[in-house]
Amino acid sequence: MVRPGSEFHLEERDPGDTSGFDGGEERALEVSRQLDRKLDRLQERLYAEHKHKVLIVLQAMDTGGKDGTIRRIFQGVDPSGVRVAHFREPTPQELDHDFLWRVHAQVPGRGELVIFNRSHYEGVLVERVHHLISKEVCRQRYGQINDFERMLVEDGTTILKFFLHIGRDEQKKRLGERLADPNKQWKFSADDLAERKLWRHYMRAYQQAIGSTSTNPAPWYVIPANKKWFRDLVVSATVVESLEGLRLEYPALSEDVKSSALK
């Protein structure tokens, strides 16, 4: 977790780090399967209780593993209570509104778990790196994001923000794998190579964005993501721990319903 108000340096976070867990990949996969079962039960209670809202934000460089994380961790949950929202290049209609306008419509309702595959943070990452907004506008947006997320939390939303942190060499390897695998080539775009040239600019943008918007209501987690098994384990464990903290319960039947059912 990036502690709110602390000095944050992204270059000090090792994307290949797997410390804090003993047992290696095989043991991690076993633990992850246990967490899958817990998450399934917790998500069902979340949906049934219809009280809390959960928003998971995933940000990463290209090939960072957003799709893989979603597919791996949430494959066993009830799809009726889980939704994935994607935020691609804004449409002309969206550009006519403030940058959070399109985001607000996608936030979770009661009993719902929503995953943002990319998010409102694109407005202080891509748009900043490509000089589509000024530094002053970018600073204003940090404040607007903090206000927006605080409002969601005050309205009963639990927000978990994950930056899946991969290294530049690992990205190169994964891009090569995409090119070599016919089943993955559809994911490859020439834009990926153009964006890769801006790596240092993106790292600076991520560092400032994360440091400016990791708050007590909605902290950021920087996840070492070079090892996919470790990435999935840490994200899954964090989600499960947060849901357990909500003390979710199945709603009890009212006495009237019980009486009617027994007649």
Q: Are 209 and 124 in contact (CB under 8 A)?
A: yes
Residue 6 lies in a domain: no
Q: How confident is the model at residue 171 (pLDDT cuts 50, 70, 90)?
A: very high
Q: For 13-44, how does the pLDDT look when each residue is reduced to its tens digit (9 = 90+)?
A: 999 999 988 888 999 999 999 999 999 999 99
Q: Is the pLDDT of residue 82 over 90?
A: yes
Averaged pLDDT, 73-92: 91
Predicted TM-score (pTM) of this structure? 0.94
Distance CA 44, CA 112 (A): 10
On the CB side of 170, CA atoms within 13 Å amount to 19
Q: What is the CATH number of the domain that holds 189?
A: 3.40.50.300
Gyration radius from the chain CA atoms: 20
Question: What percentage of the chain exceeds 90 in pLDDT?
Answer: 83
Q: Is the pLDDT of residue 78 over 90?
A: no
Question: Which of helix, strand or coil describes residue 47?
Answer: helix
Residue 260 lies in a domain: no
User: Which residues lie below 8 Å from residue 158, measured CB to CB, with a gap of 6+?
Assistant: 52, 53, 54, 55, 242, 243, 246
Residue 182's domain comprises 35-243
Residue 25 lies in a domain: no
Output the pLDDT for position 28: 95
Which DSSP symbol is given to 89?
S
Residue 248 lies in a domain: no
Residue 178 lies in a domain: yes
Residue 221 lies in a domain: yes
Written as six digits, the tokens of 124 are: 């202080």
Domain count, the chain: 1
User: Which residues lie below 8 Å from residue 18, measured CB to CB, with a gap of 6+?
Assistant: 224, 227, 230
Residue 254 lies in a domain: no
Q: For 43-52, how does the pLDDT look when each residue is reduced to its tens digit (9 = 90+)?
A: 999 999 999 9
Averaged pLDDT, 222-236: 97
Residue 54 lies in a domain: yes
Output the pLDDT for position 240: 98
Averaged pLDDT, 192-201: 93
Q: Is the pLDDT of residue 256 over 80?
A: no
Question: Which of helix, strand or coil describes residue 15?
Answer: coil
Q: Is the dihedral of CA 64, 195, 15, 83 positive or negative?
A: negative
Q: Are 226 and 16 in contact (CB under 8 A)?
A: yes
Distance CA 105, CA 187 (A): 27
